[in-house]
Amino acid sequence: MGTLLTAWRTRTRTAVAAAALTVTATLATPFAHAEGSAPPVLSDGFGLTQVAGGTQVRSDTDFTITVTTRQVEGEHKIRIFLPSGYRADPEKRWPVTYFLHGGGGTVDDAAAAPALHSDSMITVVPDAGLKGWFADWVMQNTAEGAANWETFHLEQVVPFIDANLRTIADKRHRAVVGLSMGGFGALHYGEARPDLFGHVASLSGGIDFGMAEVRGAVLATELNVTGAWCAVSTSTPSGTGQCTGYGPTVDSDAIFGSPYPVLNADRVWKAVDPAATANLAELDGAEVTLYTGDQGLIDHFTRIAARNVKTRLDQLGLPSRLVDYGDGSALAPTCDGGHNYGCWAPALADYIPRLQASFGTAG
């Protein structure tokens, strides 16, 4: 552990089981909507129970619900952006994008990227915990309690959204997009459930578990090592004191088991490694996009990880798009090439119109 953390600082249950529930392409009948300017009324189901009084309404197209589930301890928010025409055309169905936030972040980070609130699609932002890592944890008896994040998202949130909102419930019209920790989640979910997602995008993602530095970043969240990673993985400006870390300290083996490549002790890490060739092969038929800068301790390594993934996808003959914006000067005035929303917001502004076009050609 010390070696991995040093590498990260200075150079900056078995494999997760396939989800048992398959969301069919049959379009569900949406539940009733509230009158006036209120957002849609959603109905409990798929193991999710809404918390009374836990809904925050910003507008009829931007609202957050709070849910509980046996899969993950505590209460968890799901923020939803609807297109402005959602209410006006009650017969129309929409593509849906799942946005996965970074470590130390919250569902409200999505507001820092205005492109996510699109008039061409529904965007769903599920809570992923301060250090959930989009996994069903190996250890379920830590201070975090139940931590089956992958099951929560893929077997509960996705069908819940399809049942309650007018989505087009097939992979050609469903995307998963994430940044930092969520960048891992996006690529991993695309590989774990190719039946669900036809579009995958990772921004500055920890997407190569073969790299000691990436494993070290996961360990830093488990051990609640605060600092640069926490400060820049959220939309909260650095220095405000609002990025308080990753929650309770847990065992370094809690999420993916032992990280040490000795006698196959790290078998879970290898099984869920997004950069593993066998996992990348599951992306056959998906549209894959990677973004990264190359500045700072973190994006120096996310660039290496992104290039590794791109090379292996090329070797498999699978098309993908890598946007390496370097120091950010060609991307946007707000981008310094680092691990922050000054780069991610314009990267998403580049990506979302392309995604919308792909949704459009999918019919």
* Residue-wise pLDDT tens digits, 310-331: 999 999 999 999 999 999 999 9
Query: Could you give the percent of the chain with pLDDT greater than 70?
Result: 86
In order of 75, 145, 360, the CA distances from 49 in angstroms are: 10, 18, 33
When pLDDT is cut at 50, 70 and 90, the band that residue 229 belongs to is: low
CA dist., res. 301 & res. 298, Å (int): 6
- The two tokens of residue 177 are 């997009």
pLDDT at 231: 61
When pLDDT is cut at 50, 70 and 90, the band that residue 9 belongs to is: very low
Q: Which of 99-113, 180-194, 222-236, 345-359 has the lowest mean pLDDT?
A: 222-236
Q: Mean pLDDT score of the chain, rounded to an integer? A: 88
Is residue 16 predicted with pLDDT exceeding 70? no
Is residue 35 predicted with pLDDT exceeding 70? no
- The pTM of this model reads 0.89
CATH architecture of 2-361: 3-Layer(aba) Sandwich (3.40)
CA dist., res. 291 & res. 348, Å (int): 9
Q: Which of 229-238, 270-279, 292-301, 328-337 has the lowest mean pLDDT?
A: 229-238
pLDDT, mean of residues 10-35: 33
List of long-range contacts for 282-286, beta carbons under 8 Å, 24+ apart: 282/190, 282/191, 282/192, 282/194, 283/190, 283/191, 283/194, 283/200, 283/313, 283/318, 284/194, 284/316, 284/318, 285/194, 285/198, 286/171, 286/190, 286/194, 286/197, 286/198, 286/199, 286/200
Strands (E), the chain: 49-50, 56-59, 62-69, 72-81, 96-100, 122-126, 174-179, 199-203, 287-293, 320-326
Q: Give me the helices (H) in 45-154, please.
A: 149-151
Q: What is the DSSP letter of 48?
A: B
Q: What is the pLDDT of residues 186-216, one digit of tens each?
A: 999 999 999 999 999 999 999 999 999 999 9
Residues 96/161, Cβ–Cβ less than 8 Å: yes
Domain boundaries, the chain: 2-361
Place of tokens 């073969």: 210
Report the alpha-carbon angle 23-119-189, nearest 5.
35
pLDDT, mean of residues 81-108: 95
Residues 50/44, Cβ–Cβ less than 8 Å: yes
pLDDT at 238: 43
User: How far separated are the first and last CA of the chain, in Å rounded?
Assistant: 49
pLDDT, mean of residues 83-94: 95
Is residue 227 predicted with pLDDT exceeding 70? no
Report the alpha-carbon angle 312-317-322, nearest 5.
55
The burial class, CB within 10 Å (0-12 / 13-18 / 19+), for 151 is buried
pLDDT, mean of residues 7-25: 31
Is residue 23 predicted with pLDDT exceeding 90? no
SS3 30: coil
CA atoms within 13 A on the CB side of 189: 36
CA dist., res. 355 & res. 89, Å (int): 22
CB atoms < 10 A from the CB of 340, how many?
A: 29
Backbone dihedral angles phi then psi of residue 160, each to the nearest 5 degrees: -60, -45
pLDDT at 189: 98
Q: Which of 21-25, 190-194, 331-335 has the lowest mean pLDDT?
A: 21-25
pLDDT at 56: 97
pLDDT, mean of residues 162-177: 98
Q: Which of 237-241, 261-265, 287-291, 346-350 has the lowest mean pLDDT?
A: 237-241
Reading phi first (left if > 0) and then psi (alpha if -120 to 50, else beta), residue 117 is in beta
